[in-house]
Structure formats: C-alpha cells, structure tokens
Structure 1
Amino acid sequence: MQRALQILEKYWHYTAFRPVQDGIIQSVLEGNDTFGLMPTGGGKSLCFQVPAIVNDGLCLVISPLVALMKDQVNQLQNRDIKAIALTGSIKPDELIELLDNCQFGNYKFLYLSPERLEQDWVLERIKALPISLIAIDEAHCVSQWGHDFRPSYLKIKKLKSHFSKIPFIALTASATPVVQEDIIGLLGLENPNVFQKSFARDNLGYFIIKAEDKLHKLHQILQKNPESSIIYVRNRKNCHEYAAQLSALGHKTTFYHGGLPVKEKEKNMNSWMKDEVTVMVATSAFGMGIDKPNVKTVIHINLPENLESYYQEAGRAGRNGEKAFAVLISSPSDVIQAESQFISVLPDTNFLKEVFVKLCNYFRIGYGEGINEEFSFSLNQFCGQYKFPVIKTFNSLQFLDRQGVISLSQEFSEKVQIQFLIESKEVIRYISLNPDDEPIIAVILRTYPGIFDLQTNINTVFIAKKANSTEAKVLNLLEKLKNLNIVDYFSQQNESKITFLEVREDDRTINRVSKDLQRQNLVKKNQLEAVIRYVSDESNCKSKLLLDYFGEKNPDDCGICSFCSNKKSQKHDLGTIRTEILALLSEKEMTSRDVAAVFPVEESEILKALKQLLEHGIITFNTKNQYTLSKK
C-alpha cells in the first residue's frame, strides 16, 4: 500500500485514502475480484485508477456514460496519465488506430462502452492487449433489477473466461441487496471481496415538505439557507422558469440542462462552482462530476423516478461534512404527474411490436431482410407519420437498441428553438396584416405559452399537422419571421441513424425480448412506488427509510430529518393555535403565509385552525384576501 499512497499523493495530492477506498485498493492489488458499493462522492474512480498505475499494463474500464468517460479521461490526461476512450462516434478506421495505440503506446487506461464488446473484432483486439485490471463502473447496469439495466453489460462475462487471472472490480453508487447479488453472479466474479460504505449521512437531513405553492416554499428555504444550493426540476422548461422567477425574487441564480450549448453549460457551471451565483436550477442532466463541497441544500421540486437517483442527487449536499439539507417539496398532484412522466410513457409489448413493424415498413424492409442496413432517421417525422407519441416511441426504440435489435445513434438533436422578440399585441397586429400565416402562428402560441419569455424547443411536425400545413411551410415561416426580427430562431437538424442488427422477423423478434420489457416495466413501477412510500410515510425517520431500501439496517433515528424534527418540536393543540392567531389578527390583517411565518408549527396545523375559525364566523376575508376578525 505504500506505493499506492505515493501515487495518490503524486497525482491527486492527497495523503490518505477515504474510508473503504484503502480496503478495496488492497484487495485489487492482491489480485482478488472485488465489489465496491460506495455512495456518490465516495471516490469510486480512485479504487481502480490507483492500483492500475501501481501495476504494469493497461486498465480496461467499462462505463455506460460517454460524458463520464470523457470527463475521467480528461482528468487523467491533465495529470499526465495516458488514457483513451472509445466512444460510439469514433469511425472504424480511427478505432483501429486507437486500439493500436493502446497495444503499443504505453497507455494506462482504455475506456469503452459495454456496447463495444458486442463487436467481435473489437473483443478480439482487446484480448491481445496487455490488460492488468478490468473495472466495471456503474455496475448496477448489469442487473435486470437495477434502475438502468443495459443488456450489453451481460457480454462482460465473456472477458472473464479469457482474462481468468486478471482481477475484476465492479463499482456502483446505488444497489439494493438483490441487485448486488445479481451483479456478482452475472459478471462471474470469483469469491469477490465485498466492500460497502454505509449509506448513512450523519450531517445530511432529509426533509419532505408539503406545499401547494412550491415557488413560495423555495423562496422561504433559500432565504433561510442562502448558501450554495441545487434545485432539481422536471424538464428544461421548468429549469428556465424557476431560474427566472427566483432571480426576480432576488436570488443569484443560474441554470443547467442537456439542451444548452456547451459554452453556456460551462459558463453557468463555473459561475456556480466559483460562488458567483448561489442557486443552480437543473434537470437530472446536472450531476456527473459534480463535487462541490459547500452545497448547503439540494431541493427536488418533483418526485424523482427512483430512490437510487434521488439518493445520488440529494447526496451532493454537505460533502464538506457540515450540516446540510436534502429537501423534497411535495404536493397532492405529484403522484399523478410522476406516473404520467415515468410510467405512462413505458411501452408495452403490443406498442413495441407496432413501433418495430412500422419502423421496418418506414424503411421498406421486407420480412427476413434488413440486417446491417443503415438509414438516416427523424424521430419527429416518424412519429408524425404514424401518430405515435414521441417519448413513448423513443423509449421503445431505446429498448430495442439496448436489446441489440437495432443500433440507434445518440445524436437525437433535431432541435428547432424559437422565442418571440415582440409583444403579443404586436404579433396579433402582424397576423392581421398576414392572414395566411395565422394558422401556424396560432398553433405555436397555443402549444407553447412560455414562448415570449424564453427559447423554447418546438416540434415542427406536430405544428404542421395541427395547422393543416407541411413541415416545410412551418420552417419557411420561421425563417421569414426571423428575418423580420419577430422571432429568434435556431435550427439544428443533426440526423440520427438507425442500423438494423437482425433480420426482420416481427413476432419472433418481439416475443424474444418481451420478457425483458415486462421486467423493465415492473422494475420502474416498483421503484416509483418506493418513492411514493418514502414521501407519504409520516411514521418513520426519513434516513432510516432510505437505509432500509438499500438493505442497511439502522435501529436509531437520524435526529435531523423532517420526521425527527417534527417529533422533537413542541406540539401545539388547535385551541392554543386559534388563540394565538386571534391575538395576531387583533393587531393587523394577515394572509395564511404571514401567519405561518410567525408560528414555529406545521403549516397544515395553522391552516386547520384558520379553517375552524372561518367556519365559526370568528374570522373572515377582506378584499385583499387577508384574514381579519369578524365584525360583531
């Protein structure tokens, strides 16, 4: 371990390993298969990077995320460590050259996606490399019971039979006991040493706060905790809206989502990392490589898809060891919205078959034909032609991609963004002078109400259909409006590609993968149900609920979550609260928010007391929607 510590200090400038890291590294250096379960921020990458540098040879790293691979390769290269990543966009000729470099260029790390292992010639080239360690990152993707199953991960076991004397290390930040067992079995790990860092975060308080007006509650939380924070929202539109609203309320705010240009992402990220702004409003795209120690609060505005991702995102708070908060703001409509977002868009077997058959017809592929044929593909046009819902269709294609039926390029960036630069009354004036343009403009205004406030992604196929027009006419009109300085218009038509990896067999193809589809859908439904139970459970410590989900038993309450805080706080009876409210209203009229800001009790108790006073005619509303004492 002395050599490992020297490398840690030389390249990473640390003098000691974190808890669990040292045990994992020692196990790998001794040549053992190793499994590491380390929550977000635990330093997983060092567990294979350090022993790989200690030993001679090349470390093969299998990772499902292109962005994560690029980030780790850049970090290694910045430390003068030779590393390379074989991402999906690399052409075959270039791929051969890069593999030659790995064989003869003294590289230490080769990163690739699990899908690369499905290419037999790539697998054969890998077998010829001087590999000393094989690391499987995000290993929960191996398990069909994991939250991000990738069938291509199952190919990794092929490497085990060839590199039987080379240690394998599997790492993940989130895996239930069932998933852990699945990973070890499916990777063929031999008597692995298993290391697990506790999921408990002693300094992090998990809070569930019920509120109808989420913006107001956000404002209150940020006023009380003005330090660095992250706010996770459902989509890009919410990202812009909440960022604008919080800025208007006086908070230094920026935003981040997958649709931003790279330069804007970097600018916004850097301003937040340097504390030039304190609030980052983001979608789930914000996460990879985020290790800011002084994040005080992570707030979720909507229900997450699963507790695995929630734990990872919430865990970005309090990494400096100081007290921090993970807050989930909940309202009664959240469950319906979450089911609509995560469950209703899951394809069933019949829909999957319909999409596959129509896809083959779309490209005129006959039965028993199509293998290795490649086509340019527009998702919006395909969905428009067959009246398919876009997200559900994309999920179907993505599932077929992961099952190896098709290969779907990741360049789904058919973007058309517009924003009106003139006021709505000026748009109406334009329409009156140009009545032929009215149908298309009217559809745009009805479909995208925030289009005057921010750059908005629009679906030109959908607009054309609703306006009884064509996509070409929609695009021509947008270009015309841009030239007249009526809209800011941006179009980026990077065509995606679909390659058919099997011959067309319709029923046989879909029947073969239908069990995996049913299993995937069941996993996602069970995971959302676990989220709903976590949010709605008012009888148990929130930290204990999370620990129990991940198979970790802890008999003690955390003492700092919303449940524990409510249990500790002094309970007020309704009679006392009513008396206090009347005393306040005898001095001045107040809204329920004003009253809640004064009382250190649950808002629901205050509302209950106000309702009773209203029903008995003791208080009433004035013209400003404030509570006031009734006139006797």
Structure 2
Amino acid sequence: MEKQIHNENSTPPQKGAEDLTIIPDPISSPPLSSGEGPGVRLLKQYWGYDNFRGIQEDIINSIGEDKDTLGLMPTGGGKSITFQVPALAKEGLCLVVTPLIALMKDQVQNLKKRGIKALAIYSGMSRQEILTTLENCIFGNYKFLYISPERLDTEIFRTKLQKMKISMITVDESHCISQWGYDFRPAYLKIAEIRDILPDVPVLALTATATPEVVKDIQARLRFRKENVFRMSFERRNLAYIVRNTDNKTGELLHILRRMPGSAIIYVRNRRRTKEIAELLHNEHITADFYHAGLDDATKDIRQQRWQTGESRVIVATNAFGMGIDKPDVRIVIHLDLPDSIEAYFQEAGRAGRDGEKAYAVILYSRSDKTTLHKRIPDTFPEKDYIRQVYEHLQYYYQMAMGDGQGCIREFNIEDFCRKFKYFPVPVDSALKILTQAGYLEYTDEQDNASRLKFSIQRDELYRLRGMGEETDRLIQIILRSYTGLFTDHAFISEELLAARAGLTRKQIYEQLVRLAKLRIVSYIPRKKTPYIIYTRERIETRHLQIPPGVYEERKKRYEKRIEAMLDYVTNDTVCRSRMLLRYFGESNGHDCGQCDTCISLRNRQSADKRPAKELFGEILQILSEQEMTPAALAEKMPGGKEALTEALHLLLEEGKIIAANGMLQIKK
C-alpha cells in the first residue's frame, strides 16, 4: 500500500511543529482519528493548530492503529510530529532510533524544558549512566528514549529492554538501513533483531530521501508485516534550484552573497576548506563561522547558536551540519563542491526556505568537478587487494595474534596508522567501512568521549594539602561534592558543569585540572574524539578474507550510478531541475518549476525566438537577392525563431514581394 499526497503549497512545517509544549500525563485513547480525536486535540491544545499538515495525520492514524508505517517527508516536513503525538497518546515508552547524536540531545532537551519525560543513550556515557537511564525507562514513566543504532546490540540494553513497556519504535533516517541507499549504516540492521524481542510493537520508519528501490528495501529490512507507505510530494515550490558554471568559484560566491541578503549555508567537501572559506568571507566583511565533525561539542554549539540568532550570517560546513537544525529563514544554500549523490544534495539543499518564502539552492560547478567526483569511486571502493592489505596491517598495528581478537575494542588513530604503513587516510577509511560491512570488524566514526578524572592521592592526603590557592581549593571541594568514587576509579566529568558551579570559564577549569595533573594530585583525561575498531570475529589469514559482491561490486555499481545522476543533473541544460529531482525519487511532475536556471534560460531563448515577423523582412530579402533557396536552407541561414520566420515568409508571399517556384523561394521581379 502506498499513499501519495501532493503538497500543494510545498511550505515548511507550521511554526512550532517540531517542538512540544508542556504535555501532562499521556492520553490513553485509541484510535487517533480525525476531527476531534485525541491526536487533533493534542495538536490543538499544545501546538495551537486546528489541523495537521500534509501527511502527518495519515501517518499518525496508521501507527496509532499499530500498523508498520513508512513516512517519506522532505526536509522540513515536520517528521517529529508524526511520532511524538501518537507516542504521547499511547501508553508506554516510544523508542526512537537515530544516528544523529546532536539531534537526539537537542530533542531531549526541548522535551525536558516543556515537561516531557525523555532520555537518550549515546556514546561517551559511562556504564553507570547508561544503567541509570535504562532503569528510569523501566520505572520512571518516561515517554521517549532516544538511542543510537550501535547501542541496540549491547547486552545491557537488550536485557533491560525486555522489562520496558514499549508502545512503538521510531526509526529516523531509515534509509540508512538499506544497502542500496546512499548512507548505509550496518548498525541499522540490528533494529530488525529488536523486533524479535518486541514482536507486537509497531514500527514507524521516517526518511527525507529514498528512491523507489530503497523504499521497498526499508520495509523488507524492518520486517514490515505489510507494505504501508505514505509519501508527501518532495516538490518545493518556493525553492529555486540553480547551477552556475564557473572557473572562479570564490569570485562567484562573493558575487552571490553580496547580491542575495539573508542567512546562508555553504557546503564544502572537507574540514580544511570550511576554515579557508570562512576566513575568506571574514576578509570580505561577511560574518561567517565554520563547522565540521572534528570540532568539540561546545564549539559546535556556540557557532550554531551564533548562526541561528543571526550574529553570523553564513555557516561554512561539511555534510556534518544541518541534521535536526530548524532555522526557517535560510535564504540560500550554496554547494562549492559537488555531493556524490542526488539524495545528499536534495537533503542539504532542502534546508533553504523552510519558512515558505523564496529561497535558492545553488551549485557552483566547474569542469574539474567531474574529474574530482570520478576520483571518489576508487577512494570509496579501493581494490580488494588493498582492503586485504589494510586488514593485515591492522593486525600488525595492534599486534593481534592469529585466532585472537574477537570482542576486542581498540582506539584507532587513523593518522598514526597511515603514517606507520604509508597509506592515505581516505581510502583506509573506506577499506575499514567495507570490512565492517563484510562482518570482520566494526569501525566506528569519531566517538565523543567525556573527560575523566581520578584522584591520584588518598583522601586524607588531599585534606592535608595547603597552599594550593583559594580558587583551586574551592574547585576541589566542588569536584568532591559533584562526583563520587573519584579515589577508586576514573569518573566521567563535565568541565561545563564545574565551570557553572565554580563561577569560572571552561578554559579556567581545564587549566586548573591540568595543573593538578602536573602536580600528580589527579589523573585527568580530557575529552577527546576517538574512532574505535571493534573486532566482531577472530583474526583470520588474509587469503581467507572474503568480500561478497553485495558488499563490494553491487554497492560500487550503485555508487557509480549515483555519481552519474549527480553529473547529469549539473550538466543538464534542457530539463527543469525540479522535475529532474522529483523524477529521481520516483515522483512524476506534470509542470516545470519556472524558476530554476534551466527554465529561465529556456524562457529567455523562447523570448528571443519571438521577434516580430516584419523585423525579418530585410534579412530575408537580402539573402534571397543573392540566391534563391528552399525554406529549409533559408532557416539554416537564419537560426533562431522558426515561428517568426514562417510568419514572415507567409506575409512576404501575400504581399507579392517573394514567390515560390519549384520549391524554391525567390524575389519577385
């Protein structure tokens, strides 16, 4: 079953549709029908709107009837409403699986501010923090638990899950479960195993980007009891898609930003380039910040906040930026580098104009981009012998004996590894991801690990210390009041929390802790971002390592196909860009957008074709005075408006200025 609903106005969600106001105890009334059903009552009472928008109500009613449901909604379509309303109306806890740690933290914080009981489990939490969170889910009458897919496979989670009353499972970014999708994440495959533990609990899958093939695959992978899809039109009528061919991208970028007022996002391919472009804009007196996954959380939050409030006009970012960020008044999204798929581009471009006002999505394209994009194929799918070699060198790196390794977890410094074995980081990263998909190991992205602290001296020695200074003595007292077990083991700490309680800055707290560590009073491990290698099976001989076609050849072929689709999009100059994007996602569209660069160019060409017929008289008579010719030959001599030429010839024939004899046009003598 697939229900497609055309979004007539293609406007973004109603203001507030991603947030919740204070909700009291959940309403346990079935079903969430239209009219004055509990779903509408919740929306009206706490959001202040009389009706749902687009397909929100259809999805809510479907999941409210305990049907497995897939919702396809473009960026800004109001996805959160579709699981928050039914979860509040159902008895029990909604399990929300999402790969976006920043998004889950943000949504949990917003829910808590408004009195909704919500929790999250993500990397960087201690075992005790995770255990406490899970116990609260069992006994604390919570309504939402956000969790990253990697955490679903842990023994502690699966044990505690069986004691929870789960009302529904929400799978955000559900395209990540499909190996045919552009952003496949193996950890998503664990979600289907959760259904074995919770066989009667319905699943709501949500995504903003999925081709027809991926739509079917999502439902199969999540073991839908029956196909059930609701699709909102992906058309964005207020968004103009533009491709500019230029060999001077920075000059064109500055030209656009000076002409176009308002907030902007600029997407580039790598971290170094984010900083370079931000500095360029600063030098041109355009306020800008840069953003990428390598920044610490505090820096990300500050820069995001400056951009959200308008203090910085432009954010220059990698694809790490944007998910879950609701800024409705972005007037322009510019891609300086080409994404490697239409899916990624559509999602990033869709962050412009979520307020329904006119906005632009611009790609700056040069001829060298085609070569760069094709180079990503061997970088993303290195040769199998190369992958085997990386696997072998990984064993040398960790001094892993044959047959050992299963269950081992190791921090992984990719720069150090590449330096020792003379590799480049990008293909090594790809090789490890392919080995992950082939089942030999699990290679995590950078995990944000909280700072840890332990006292290196005994409590009585600490009390005998003198002369540390009033500020340091006060900090030690605050640490002892804030955390327990510091004399026996490292505990996770928050410099931000200590700074707030001590009335100092985070930097001052850091400097104090470093000083205490140098004096060997504490052992201090600052927060760091660390990828991990987790061995999912024992080390095997390289010659026995198998990389199946489904992991390599088939995925490589689809990756090449996505790159060609992206190149077709930017090199096209005859088909409406909006129509091209919609067609890619399986949506037929009967009209051109009229505002993309292709539509404008075609319209201008047609206008040029519509020269008044009488303006052509002199040109026609001049050509025929030199020699007689057929109408087709005359048309070749006068490229452009064929309609105008035909009309001019008819008028000249009627007026007797030319005659047609034996198929040849000539001047009447």
Asked if residue 544 in structure 1 is aligned to residue 576 in structure 2, the reply is no
Q: Which residue of 1 aligns with 2:270?
A: 235
- 1:432-581 matches, cutoff 5 A: 496-507=531-542, 510-511=545-546, 513=548, 515-570=550-605
Please give the residue correspondences for 1:5-404 in structure 2 after superposition, counting only pairs within 5 Å.
5-341=40-376, 343-404=378-439
Shift, 1:230, TM fit:
1.5
**SS of equivalent to 1:215:** helix
Could you tell me how far 1:412 is from its partner in structure 2?
6.5
SS state at 1:296 partner: strand
Q: Does 84-93 or 507-516 show the bigger shift?
A: 507-516
Give the structure with higher Rg (CA): 2
Q: 1:10 to 1:77 in 2, by over 3 A?
A: farther
**Following TM superposition, by how much is the alpha carbon of 1:174 offset from its aligned partner in structure 2, in angstroms?**
0.3
The code of the aligned residue for 1:260 comes to: L
The answer for the alignment partner of 1:622 in structure 2 is none
- Deviations along 1:370-394, whole A, 9 cap, x unmatched? 2123334322222111112112112
Q: Which amino acid aligns with 1:204?
A: L
Partner SS, residue 546 of structure 2: helix
* Contact 1:144/1:519 (<8 A) preserved: no
AA aligned opposite 2:43: L
Instruction: Answer whether contact 2:392 2:542 (CA < 8 A) is retained.
Output: no
Give distance in 1, aligned partners of 2:146 and 2:263: 33
1:59-82 C-alpha deviation (Å, 9 max, x unpaired)? 111112222222222222222211
Contact 1:206 1:327 in 2 (8 A): yes
Is the CA contact (8 Å cut-off) linking 2:87 and 2:93 kept in structure 1? yes
8 Å CA contact 1:28–1:167 kept in 2: the answer is yes
Contact 2:212 2:586 (8 Å CA) reproduced: yes
Residue 280 of structure 1 aligns with an amino acid whose one-letter code is I
1:498 is displaced (CA, Å) by 2.8
Q: 3-state SS of the aligned residue for 1:499?
A: strand
Residues 504 and 56 of structure 1: is their aligned pair in 2 closer, same or farther, counting only changes over 3 Å? same
Quick check: 2:72–2:230 contact (8 Å CA) kept in 1? yes
* Cα deviations by residue, 1:294-331 (Å, 9 ceiling, x for unpaired): 21111111111211111111111111112211111111
CA contact (8 A) 1:142 1:151 kept: yes
Equivalent pair of 1:114/1:152 in contact (CA under 8 Å)? yes
The alpha-carbon deviation at position 222 of structure 1 amounts to: 1.9
1:446 maps to what in 2?
none
Alignment partners' CA distance in 2, 1:6 and 1:192: 29
Cα distance between partner residues in 2 of 1:342 and 1:224: 36
Distance 1:223 1:182, change over 3 A: same
- Once the two structures are superposed, residues 202-238 of structure 1 have per-residue CA deviations (whole angstroms, 9 ceiling, x without a partner) of 1111111101111221122222211222111222222
- Specify the SS of the correspondent of 1:73: helix
Count of equivalent residues: 499
Structure 1 residues 205 and 517, CA gap change in structure 2 (3 angstroms): same
Q: Is the 8 A contact 2:40 2:51 kept in 1?
A: yes
Displacement of 1:140 in angstroms is 0.6
Q: Percent identity?
A: 40
Q: Which amino acid aligns with 1:149?
A: F
Cα distance change, pair 121–412 in 1 and its aligned pair in 2 (3 A): closer
**In the TM superposition, what whole-angstrom CA distance separates every residue of 1:45-67 from its partner, at most 9, and x where no partner exists?**
22111100111101111112222
Check conservation: 2:71, 2:206, Cα contact below 8 A: yes
Separation of aligned partners in 2, 1:561 and 1:377: 45
Deviates more, 1:132-141 or 1:355-364: 355-364
Asked if the contact 1:229–1:280 (Cα under 8 Å) also holds between the matched residues in 2, the reply is yes
1:259 and 1:301 map into 2 onto residues whose CA distance is 20
Measured after TM superposition, the shift of residue 158 of structure 1 is 2.4
Q: Given residue 20 of structure 1, which amino acid in structure 2 is its aligned partner?
A: I
Partners of 1:536 and 1:389 lie apart in 2 by 31
Moved over 6 A (4+): 571-574
Shift of the 13–351 alpha-carbon distance from structure 1 to 2, 3 Å rule, reads farther
Distance change (3 Å), C-alpha of 1:406 and 1:534 = same
Q: Matches of 1:31 and 1:495 in 2, distance apart?
A: 40
Q: Matched residues in 1 for 2:412 and 2:241: separation?
A: 44
SS of the residue corresponding to residue 149 of structure 1 reads: coil
Deviations 1:160-197 (A, max 9, x none): 34433222111111000000001111111122431101
Could you tell me how far apart the structure 2 residues matched to 1:254 and 1:16 are?
Answer: 38
Kept after mapping to 2: 8 A contact 1:349/1:514:
no
The structure-2 alpha-carbon separation of the partners of 1:347 and 1:234, relative to structure 1 and needing over 3 Å to count, comes to same
For the residue of structure 2 that corresponds to 1:511, the secondary structure is coil
1:14 Cα shift?
Answer: 4.4
Q: Secondary structure at the match of 2:406?
A: coil
Q: Answer whether contact 1:76 1:82 (CA < 8 A) is retained.
A: yes
* SS of corresponding position for 1:569: helix
Gaps of 5+ in 2: 1-31, 450-525, 612-669
The CA distance in 2 between the partners of 1:188 and 1:65, in whole Å, is 23
Matched residues in 1 for 2:148 and 2:314: separation? 33
Equivalent residues of 2:93, 2:166 under 8 A apart: yes
Give the Å deviation of 1:404. Answer: 4.6
Q: Residue 525 and residue 149 in structure 1: after superposition, are their counterparts in 2 closer, same or farther (change >3 A)?
A: same
Are the aligned partners of 2:124 and 2:447 in contact in 1 as well (CA < 8 Å)? no
Q: 1:392 to 1:11 in 2, by over 3 A?
A: farther
Once the two structures are superposed, residues 380-433 of structure 1 have per-residue CA deviations (whole angstroms, 9 ceiling, x without a partner) of: 22211111211211222234345553244544789xxxxxxxxxxxxxxxxxxx
Q: CA RMSD in A?
A: 2.6
Aligned amino acid, residue 252 of structure 2 = K
Q: Distance in 2 between matches of 1:147 and 1:557?
A: 27
- Give the superposition deviation at 1:495: 5.5
| Distance (whole Å) between structure 1 residues aligned to residue 544 and residue 148 of structure 2 | 24
Moved more, 380-389 or 515-524: 515-524
1:56 alignment partner AA: E
